[in-house]
Structure 1
Amino acid sequence: MSASRPNVLLLLTDQERADLVAPDGLPVETPNIDRLRQQGMWFDSAYTPTSICTSARASLLTGLYPHAHGLLNNSHEADAIRTDLPEGLPTLGELLAEGGYTNTYLGKWHVSHNHTPGDFGFRYFGGSDYHHDNFDVAFEHYRESHGTTVHETDVEDRIYTGANDDGTLIAGTDPVPVEFSRPYFLAERTINALERWVDGDRQPCFHRTDFLGPHHPYVVPEPYASMYDPGEIEPWGTYAETFDGKPRAHEQYLQYRGVASFDWETWAEAVAKYFGFMTLIDDQIGRVLDALDELGLAAETAVVHTSDHGDLTGSHRLFNKGPMMYEETYRIPLVVRWPGVVEAGSQSDAFVRLQDLMPTFLEWANADVPEGLHARSIQPLLSGETPADWPESVYAQYHGDEFGLYSQRMVRTDRYKFVYNGPDRNELYDLATDPHELQNLADHPQYADIRAAMGQRLADWMDQVDDSLRGWVPKTLH
C-alpha cells in the first residue's frame, strides 16, 4: 500500500457542535479528540452544507448540495420530498470500491429510506435503529443477550418538551452500565472491523462509524450523567435572545418544539447531559484509537472526525435545529490525523465543508473524482498550503423539515453572515461585534453597503453551484 492510499477511518457523530471540541471551546472533557487534534490538523471554519441529517449525509456521499442530490429534508418523515437518492449519482463508497478499497460501515445511516450502505459500496455491519432505517436490531439483541432491556419509562431524571411528560424526551440518565450503551457497542463493533484489516489482503480499507449522538435524547449512563454540574454551566451568550427583528419562524419554533417555558435551570440540566454524552462518545473514540495502536495500524491510517451538523441545545432559547442558520448548528468539528503527511498540532482557518471530504477521500485513494461536484479536496490545506483561489466565504442551504418547507440560503465570511429567508425577512450579522448573532442588521442603514456586498456573494455562490433558486433570489436582494 502506497503512502498516497492510506487506510481511512471516518468517525462521524450526530449533531455535535464544533465548540464542544474546539481548542478554545466549551469546558467539555474530550481528551481523545484532543489527541487527534494534537497529532493532526484542526479545521476551525468547517461547516455543514445544511443542518438536517438526511440532506447533510447525502451531501457527504455525493459531494453535492441538497438542491442537486434531491434529498431536501429527512427521508424517514411523512413530509419527505424524496425517500431515496436518485439512481445514477456517483457516490463515495461506490467510487472507493471501484478504486480498490474495501469499505465497511457501522452505525447511523439515515440517507436513503429504502436502501442501506450495502447498496452504496459498503459492507454494512448494522448498528442503526428503527427510527432511521429499520435495518438492524443488533444493538437491541446485544442488550437482550446480556439480560438488559431499557424502556423510556426506565430512564431517570427525564426532561421532556411541553408542559407534561407527553412531549419529546430531551435528556435523562440511562440506568445501565456503560458497556450496554450504544456508543460503547458501536466502538466495540468498530474495533472488530479494524481487526479485519490486519488480514493483509484487505488493504487499503475505508471504515466509517456513525455514532448516534450526541443527538437528543441526551440519555447517558453514569458516570457521564452526573459528570457536569448544571449549576456551574453558565447561560449561553445567545440565551439573551429576544427574537426582536428576527424572522417570525424563530419564535414560532420556540413554541413548536415545546420549550417556550424552559428557564436556564432546565436547559442547564439538559446541557449537562449533552456534555456528558460527548465525553462518553469521546471515551469510545479513545478505545478505537487505542485499538489502532495495538493492531499496528495507526501509522498507515488517516483518521477523520466530524459531524453531520450541530445542535442548538438551548442556544437562542431553542431546541434541536430548524430554519435558523446559526453557528451552533452550521459550524461543525473537523480534525484529520494522518501520520507523516499532516503536521501534528496544525490548524487551518480556511472555510471547508462537510461534502469536501468526498473528493478528498477519492484523491487519497487515487480514484477518479466526478465532474460537477459542489466540493473540493482539502488535501492542499492538509499539506500546509492554501491555494490562491480558495473561497473566502462559505455557502449553505436549508429546505425545510417537519415544520414545513422553508427556503434559506446563507453566505458567511470571516466577519459577516447573510441569510436569505424566502418567506420572511433576511438576516445580517456582524460577527466581530455580535458573535452571538443577536442583532439582525439586515435593515440597518449603516450596513446597507455590507448587505449589498453579501447579497452579491450569495448570488455568486448560487450561480457557481447552479442553485435551483438562482433565477429568483438575487432579484430580491437589491
Structure 2
Amino acid sequence: MNKKQPNLLFVFPDQWRRQAVGLFNEDEVSTPNIDRFAGESLTLNHAISCFPLCSPNRSVMLTGRYPLSTGVTSNCKLGLPIKLNDDELTIGGVLKEAGYQTGYIGKWHLDVPEQSLEPEPASGARHWDAYIPPGPRRFGFDFWYSYNAYDRHMHPHYWQDTPQMIEPNVWSTEHETDVAIDYIRRRDPDQPFCLFVSWNPPHQPFEQVPERYKAMYADKPVKYRPNVWGDGLAQAEQHLRNYYAAVTATDDQFGRLLAALEEEGLADDTIVVLTSDHGEMMGSHGWLEHKNVWYEESIGIPFFIRYPGRIPSGGSDCLLNSPDLVPTLLGLMNVPVPEKVQGTDCSAVFRGEGGKEPASAFICHYPGSVEEHRKAREQGLEINAYGWRGVRTHRYTYVAKRSFGDAALTRLCFDNESDPYQLNPLRFDQAPKEGPAVLLERELGQWLAKLDDPFELI
C-alpha cells in the first residue's frame, strides 16, 4: 500500500438535522468548531438520507446499496429478524482488502439483538443491544469499540473482543472521542487508516447531556420553525433546548478530533467527513416520531468533507444520497468500487472536475422485513404495499404513500424553493397534466423498477 494513500475519518452523530448548524442560520445553535471546519471543507446543500431511520440508512451508508438489497428495511430490534445481510461488503471490508487499518467506534445498530436469541446473554446485552464478536459480522472493521443500540448517553457501555462489558461512566460522545484519539495516536504509521466514529447524541433521550451544555440554553428564548404546531409544539418546547445542547457538546468533541489530527501531522493526508444518518423533526408538521418521514427536517442531513489540496472548499448543490457515499469516497481514495454498489460516484464533482451528478434521490420507508415486501408481487398481499416511496430533486420532494390496510394511494408534491417549510403540498390530483408531480411520479416509477421495489403506483 502506498503510504500516500489518504486516511479516512468518518464521523456521524445520530439524528442530527441539516438545520442544526450555526453557520446556516436556521436553528439557533452554537457550533463554532463545525463552522470553522466548514470553511475548510466542501459543504453540500442537498445531502439526503435515503431512509431516515437508524438501521436502514446505516446499512446504506456502509454498503452503497439500497435497503431492499442490504436486508435492512426496519430498525434492528426485538421481535424482527432483521440484520445486515451476511454477504454484504462494507466500505470497511473494501478498505481492509486494500491494505487499510480499519476501526469502528460507537453505535452499530445493524445486528439482531442478543435477547432475540437468548433471554440472558453472557455479554449482559439487553433490549436492542448486542455484543458482536470478532469475525464476519464486523464486516471488515478490525478495531472494534462498539454496541448495537442502547440509549444511555451518560452511562454508556461497549464491547471489544470479549463479552466483557466496558462501562466508562462518561458521556458517550466524549468517551468515544477519547477512544478515537487514542486509536489515531496508536495507529501503525506505515498503513493508512479508515476510522468510523458513530456518536449517538443528539439522538434521544435529549436530556442526557452534560449539565454545562444544558445551562447554555436553559434561559435562552427559542424560535420555533413556522411549521411546528399542535402536539409538535409541545414536543419542541420540551426538547429543543436539550437538542441544541447536545449538538453544541458534540461540536466540542469534533473539535478535539480535528486537533488530534493536527497534532499527529495528519490533517493534510486525511479525508474527514462529518454528516449524519438522518435528521430530527422536533415537532415540525406535528410529527411526533422524530424521523422516518419525507419532510426536510427528517431527510436533510449536514454534510461536510475536507481533503486539503484535493477537494476545493465552498458550497455545492450536488444532490448526494446515502448510497452515493461509498462509491464517492472510494473514488476519492482511488480504490475500485465493487460491482454490487448501487450508488453514484460523485468524486469528480467533489474535486471540481465536473461530471454527471444525480438528478434525483430515491427516498423510502419499508415497514417490516424484506421477505414481506418480496411477496407483494407473488401473492398480492395488501399488507406488503404500504409505506411510502419518493424522490427528492434540487427543487421538489414527491411522495406516494399508502397506509396499512388501505388500498388508496396518496400523492404529495412540495416545491421546496417557493415553499421551504413544506406548508402547502400540491396534491397529485390537483396538479397540471404535465406538471412537476406528474413528471416526478414517472421518475419514481423508474426508481422502483430499477430497484425491483414491489411498491405500486396505482
What is the aligned partner in structure 2 of residue 233 from structure 1?
222
Aligned partner of 2:393 among 402, 408, 413:
413
Aligned partner of 2:426 among 441, 453, 474:
441
Q: Deviations over 1:108-143 (max 9, x none)?
A: 100122646852111243243663898629996212
Question: In the alignment, is the contact (CA less than 8 A) between 1:231 and 1:268 conserved in 2?
Answer: no
Asked which structure has the greater RCO (Cα within 8 Å, sep 6+), the reply is 1
Question: In the alignment, is the contact (CA less than 8 A) between 1:10 and 1:209 conserved in 2?
Answer: yes
Aligned residues: 409
Q: CA deviation at 1:377?
A: 2.0
Query: Are 2:424 and 1:398 equivalent residues in the alignment?
Result: no
What is the aligned partner in structure 2 of residue 460 from structure 1?
446
Q: TM-score, normalization: structure 2? A: 0.82
Aligned partner of 1:193 among 160, 175, 183:
183
The code of the aligned residue for 1:473 comes to E
The code of the aligned residue for 2:319 comes to F
CA distance in 1, matches of 2:360, 2:219: 36
Identical-pair percentage: 30
CA distance in 2, matches of 1:400, 1:412: 20
Q: CA deviation at 1:390?
A: 1.8
Question: In the alignment, is the contact (CA less than 8 A) between 1:4 and 1:364 conserved in 2?
Answer: no
Aligned partner of 1:136 among 149, 159, 167:
159
Structure 1 portions without partners, runs of 5+ = 144-179, 242-259
Structure 2 portions without partners, runs of 5+ = 114-131, 370-382, 404-408
CA distance in 1, matches of 2:34, 2:179: 19
Q: How does 1:3-22 map to 2 (within 5 A)?
A: 5-21=5-21
CA distance in 2, matches of 1:189, 1:353: 29
The code of the aligned residue for 2:400 comes to Y
Question: In the alignment, is the contact (CA less than 8 A) between 2:89 and 2:139 conserved in 1?
Answer: no
Q: CA deviation at 1:65?
A: 0.8
SS at match of 1:42: strand
Query: Structure 2 vs 1, CA of residues 263 and 354 (structure 1 numbering), >3 Å: closer, same or farther?
Result: closer
Question: In the alignment, is the contact (CA less than 8 A) between 2:157 and 2:167 conserved in 1?
Answer: no
Query: Structure 2 vs 1, CA of residues 343 and 116 (structure 1 numbering), >3 Å: closer, same or farther?
Result: farther
Question: In the alignment, is the contact (CA less than 8 A) between 2:349 and 2:357 conserved in 1?
Answer: no
CA RMSD of aligned residues (A): 2.6
What is the aligned partner in structure 1 of residue 198 from structure 2?
210
Q: Deviations over 1:274-297 (max 9, x none)?
A: 000000011001011111111111
CA distance in 2, matches of 1:220, 1:316: 26
CA distance in 1, matches of 2:43, 2:290: 24
The code of the aligned residue for 1:205 comes to F
Q: CA deviation at 1:376?
A: 1.6
Query: Structure 2 vs 1, CA of residues 4 and 313 (structure 1 numbering), >3 Å: closer, same or farther?
Result: farther
Query: Are 2:370 and 1:370 equivalent residues in the alignment?
Result: no
CA distance in 1, matches of 2:292, 2:20: 22
CA distance in 2, matches of 1:463, 1:291: 46
The code of the aligned residue for 1:50 comes to F
Question: In the alignment, is the contact (CA less than 8 A) between 2:4 and 2:269 conserved in 1?
Answer: no
Query: Are 2:274 and 1:305 equivalent residues in the alignment?
Result: yes
CA distance in 2, matches of 1:117, 1:15: 28
Query: Structure 2 vs 1, CA of residues 205 and 183 (structure 1 numbering), >3 Å: closer, same or farther?
Result: same
Q: How does 1:62-461 map to 2 (within 5 A)?
A: 62-78=63-79, 80=80, 82-113=81-112, 115=132, 119-128=138-147, 131=150, 136=159, 141-143=167-169, 180-197=170-187, 199-201=188-190, 203-218=191-206, 219-229=208-218, 232-240=221-229, 260=231, 263-264=233-234, 267-344=236-313, 346-387=314-355, 389-400=356-367, 406-423=386-403, 424-443=409-428, 445-448=430-433, 449-461=435-447
The code of the aligned residue for 1:280 comes to A
CA distance in 2, matches of 1:131, 1:65: 25
SS at match of 1:432: coil
CA distance in 2, matches of 1:84, 1:381: 33
Q: Deviations over 1:29-62 (max 9, x none)?
A: 1111112211110011000110111110111121
Question: In the alignment, is the contact (CA less than 8 A) between 2:431 and 2:437 conserved in 1?
Answer: no
SS at match of 1:223: helix
Q: CA deviation at 1:19?
A: 1.0
Query: Structure 2 vs 1, CA of residues 73 and 234 (structure 1 numbering), >3 Å: closer, same or farther?
Result: same
CA distance in 1, matches of 2:102, 2:276: 19
CA distance in 2, matches of 1:130, 1:432: 37
CA distance in 1, matches of 2:311, 2:89: 28
Query: Structure 2 vs 1, CA of residues 103 and 140 (structure 1 numbering), >3 Å: closer, same or farther?
Result: closer
The code of the aligned residue for 1:370 comes to P
SS at match of 2:246: helix
Q: CA deviation at 1:27?
A: 2.2
Q: CA deviation at 1:313?
A: 1.2
CA distance in 2, matches of 1:83, 1:129: 13
Q: CA deviation at 1:263?
A: 4.4
The code of the aligned residue for 1:272 comes to R
CA distance in 2, matches of 1:135, 1:2: 33
What is the aligned partner in structure 2 of residue 250 from structure 1?
none
Question: In the alignment, is the contact (CA less than 8 A) between 1:139 and 1:185 conserved in 2?
Answer: no
Q: Deviations over 1:235-277 (max 9, x none)?
A: 2111147xxxxxxxxxxxxxxxxxx4x644x623410100000
Which stretch shows the higher mean deviation, 104-113 or 118-127? 118-127
Which aligned segments of 4 or more residues in structure 1 are displaced greater than 6 angstroms?
none
CA distance in 2, matches of 1:381, 1:334: 15
Q: CA deviation at 1:356?
A: 1.4
What is the aligned partner in structure 1 of residue 122 from structure 2?
none
The code of the aligned residue for 1:210 comes to S
